[in-house]
Amino acid sequence: PVSTFVKLADLFPELSTLRTGLSCRSAPLVPLDSIGRLTQFERLRELSLSSLIHRFGGDHLTSEKLNNVLRIIFHVAPNLTKLKVCHGTMYVSGKEQKGGKRVEPHPNPNGALDFLPATLESLHLGEIALGPLDFDATALGSLRHLTL
């Protein structure tokens, strides 16, 4: 869960690059008024999160949960220059489809992108539903590469 990512900042404060996946589905929401007390990855410049869910283990995150996870990541890693976040897509078998189960829509960040680190030069967002106003309040003067 996102708590593991936060603990890595304590364990490996010298990290400059991190590539991993997180399983955030069952993690509780972290009160946003408490994120100021979290240890920051001051030296982390590149972060790649290949998936925020287990493909075969459940549903997509809610938009509220995605907002919470992203806000924590942006706070804990304030000096990123390269960020890749892919939500992941749940798997629905043929049998489940016949039973009426459908792939849920991907979540929206609900304002979390307003808190992207201003140091970003490269941003990749995958399997995240973006709306026309999601980048309105974002100041990314250093951004050179964007993949949506």
The predicted-structure confidence for 30-75, as pLDDT tens digits, reads as follows: 888 888 888 899 999 999 999 888 777 667 888 999 999 999 999 9
Query: Which pTM value belongs to this model?
Result: 0.89
> What's the pLDDT at 111?
93
> What's the pLDDT at 59?
76
pLDDT digits (tens, 9 = 90+) for 74-132: 999 999 999 999 998 888 888 888 888 887 888 999 999 999 999 999 999 999 999 88
The one-character DSSP state at 71 is: H
For residue 103, give every residue at least 6 positions away whose Cβ sits within 8 Å of its Cβ, in sequence order, or none. 89, 90, 92
The one-character DSSP state at 120 is: -
- The answer to whether 71 touches 110, Cβ cutoff 8 Å, is no
Helix axes 63-76, 2-11, angle to 10 degrees: 10
